[in-house]
Amino acid sequence: EAQVTQNPRYLITVTGKKLTVTCSQNMNHEYMSWYRQDPGLGLRQIYYSMNVEVTDKGDVPEGYKVSRKEKRNFPLILESPSPNQTSLYFCASRTDITLNSPLHFGNGTRLTVT
Amino acid sequence: GQNIDQPTEMTATEGAIVQINCTYQTSGFNGLFWYQQHAGEAPTFLSYNVLDGLEEKGRFSSFLSRSKGYSYLLLKELQMKDSASYLCAVNDYKLSFGAGTTVTVRA
């Protein structure tokens, strides 16, 4: 089944403890992206990647890192999480940015930082 | 910069029609997506408009006017399961989303 898989679904952590949220897609998509979703603010892009080893900042990149060493994986790293990073996170992928292809979303990761 | 506006909430009765408007001012534009998102779940793709006009898909239709920076999603014959948030998203190189419109369908 074609899908985007994120793990974990739920995560509670403490301020300053490094964490990684994994994202993997099995559709051979070139483009991958991370979003955070907060009430009243909608989906805001954190980072995106147009292909392997190509990543770029979205609208709210501060406090996050990403890497794209393989086409299928696009992990999100929080080196020193803070309470304002408590949010619902979505990973998404699409064929590429030149085609009019929709984003396919993972099921989300609800992160709480205390 | 990107500016995408949608109403925050709408309420309608089962069986009725609801129109969700989306206006945008963006630096790039290749088309406009509509997504549906049930509470706590991932957004799912509904429709995509590249050219001006109306696209119909069953009970859902989407309209685009590029010259006016305007789109709407029309939901007909509303069902309880249509209670969800509806997100419009402008397709520039990074797909920018509006804040979403929460639609509540009452019996």
Q: State whether A108 and B87 contact (CB < 8 Å).
A: no
From A107's Cα to the closest Cα of chain B, the distance in A is: 5
Of A42, A48, A94, the CB nearest to B87: A42
Q: Output the pLDDT for position B27.
A: 80
Distance CA(B69)–CA(A113), nearest Å, equals 39
Residue A3: which pLDDT band, with cuts at 50, 70 and 90?
Answer: very high
User: Each residue of A52-78: pLDDT tens digit?
Assistant: 999 999 999 999 999 999 999 999 999
Joined tokens for residue A68? 């794209």
Distance CA(B103)–CA(B107), nearest Å, equals 13
- Residue found by looking up tokens 């980072």 in the block: A47
Q: State whether A45 and B44 contact (CB < 8 Å).
A: no
Q: Does A41 touch chain B (CB under 8 A)?
A: yes
User: Each residue of A34-51: pLDDT tens digit?
Assistant: 999 998 888 999 999 999
